[in-house]
Chain A
Amino acid sequence: MHSPERVFEDRTPGVEEHEPTASYLSYSVGLGLAILATIASFIVAQTNLLWAPGIPVGLIVLGLAQIGVHLVFFLHLGSGPDSTNNILALAFGVLIVFLVIAGSVWIIANLNSNMVLMPQ
């Protein structure tokens, strides 16, 4: 006795169903946005368009925006059911990356400011 799913599963072995998530248009939109973000980063870094102390913040914001563009338009991380597991894994990866980078910078900056210079 077959289960109903097996009886009606009539897909040919080796042929995989998949819905096309990508298209030429989505890649081209992604490329356009990424180029804009890159050019904006180089302009911000080399001109006085932004208030000088705000330049690092502006660069970080543009970098994060570009990473978001890459994730959505090139890696096709969307809100669909096929992306759920990938998004969860990415969230965990982002947490670890943040802890490693921010934690190192914070701890070493603290150590540096507490460092007493040895007498020469």
Chain B
Amino acid sequence: MTMTTTLDRTLTAVPTELAHGRGGGGPAPKRIVVAYGFWIFILSDMIMFSALFAAYAVLSGNNAGGPTAPELFNLRNIFISTMCLLLSSYTCGIGVLSAERRQPTHFLVFAIFTFVLGAAFLFIEATEFAGMVAKGAGPSRSAFLSSFFTLVGTHGVHVACGLVALVYLVAQARVHGLRPAVLRRLLCWSLFWHALDIVWVGVFTLVYLMGGH
């Protein structure tokens, strides 16, 4: 490997490790290409979320005489669910790192942590939604609530899909072992999970903190 590098350096002007995927040094490793494709998907998902954020920003004042944001939001619960999602993002990163270092037991433990924290986040959100609907503040009450349920609900659906995908990937890792294809899927999944946490930063800042006091 060291010999390869030195010979490549003498043969081509551009150092190989600097030029991967940008012309001189041949194609980028598959791991980089796959992650880039998935990154494009994540950005398109972000653009969809931006439309929902825009709808909420425009409609948040139109409560049609119904309940307003400060009456509905319990910031203590939101803080707890925010911490759950943040910690699950952390355990997800550590889990994928253990998988890349070929430590299946560590990976399994951190995947379970990630799942439990993500499920706790969803449970708190579902309880909040159920409580709001029970108080007559469902999505059909006002434009404010329609846009609120669409934005926060879409994020919740993404988290639920992420949990299903996590179970599927852990099963793959158990059956096939931590081989390169499985590791690439895990890497993409971790990008998705971190991106959901970024969307949640926008949600708790714009919806709960700026609207909730």
Interface pairs A-B: 6 shortest CB-CB: A104-B54, A93-B43, A63-B205, A45-B209, A97-B50, A74-B194
Check B158 for interface membership: any CB of A closer than 8 A.
Answer: no
**Contacts A8-B7, A74-B93, A104-B57 given; does A31 touch B86 at CB 8 Å:** yes
Give the shortest distance, in Å, between B212 (CB) and chain A (any CB): 7
A92–B198 alpha-carbon span in the complex (Å):
17
Task: List the B side residues contacting A119 at CB < 8 Å.
Answer: none
Give the shortest distance, in Å, between A69 (CB) and chain B (any CB): 9
Task: List the A side residues contacting B22 at CB < 8 Å.
Answer: 81, 84
Task: List the A side residues contacting B26 at CB < 8 Å.
Answer: 5
Interface of B is mostly: helix
Residue pair B201, A67 in contact (C-beta under 8 Å)? yes
A97–B87 alpha-carbon span in the complex (Å):
26
Residue pair A41, B46 in contact (C-beta under 8 Å)? no
B53 CB contact (under 8 Å) in A45, A90, A101, A103: A101
Residues of B in contact, count (CB < 8 Å): 60
Q: Scoring B residues 80 to 113 as 1 if CB is less than 8 Å from chain A, else 0, what string do you get?
A: 0011001101100110010010000000000000
Other contacts beyond A16-B30, A41-B205, A104-B57: 12, CB < 8 A = A4-B7, A15-B180, A16-B31, A20-B100, A22-B100, A59-B205, A70-B194, A75-B191, A81-B20, A84-B22, A93-B46, A101-B54
Task: List the A side residues contacting B161 at CB < 8 Å.
Answer: none
Residues of A in contact, count (CB < 8 Å): 56
Task: List the A side residues contacting B20 at CB < 8 Å.
Answer: 81-82
Residue pair B29, A17 in contact (C-beta under 8 Å)? yes
Residue pair A5, B86 in contact (C-beta under 8 Å)? no
Task: List the B side residues contacting A66 at CB < 8 Å.
Answer: 201
**Contacts A10-B4, A41-B204, A67-B201 given; does A86 touch B75 at CB 8 Å:** no
A38–B80 alpha-carbon span in the complex (Å):
11
Which residue numbers of A lie inside 8 Å of B, CB to CB? 4-5, 8-11, 14-18, 20, 22-24, 27-28, 30-31, 34-35, 38, 41-42, 44-46, 55-56, 59-60, 62-63, 66-67, 70-71, 74-75, 81-82, 84-86, 89-90, 92-93, 96-97, 100-101, 103-105, 108
Give the shortest distance, in Å, between B135 (CB) and chain A (any CB): 22
User: Which of B11, B53, B100, B205 counts the most A-chain CB atoms under 10 A from its CB?
Assistant: B205
A35 CB contact (under 8 Å) in B35, B86, B206: B86
Check B197 for interface membership: any CB of A closer than 8 A.
Answer: yes
Residue pair B197, A74 in contact (C-beta under 8 Å)? yes
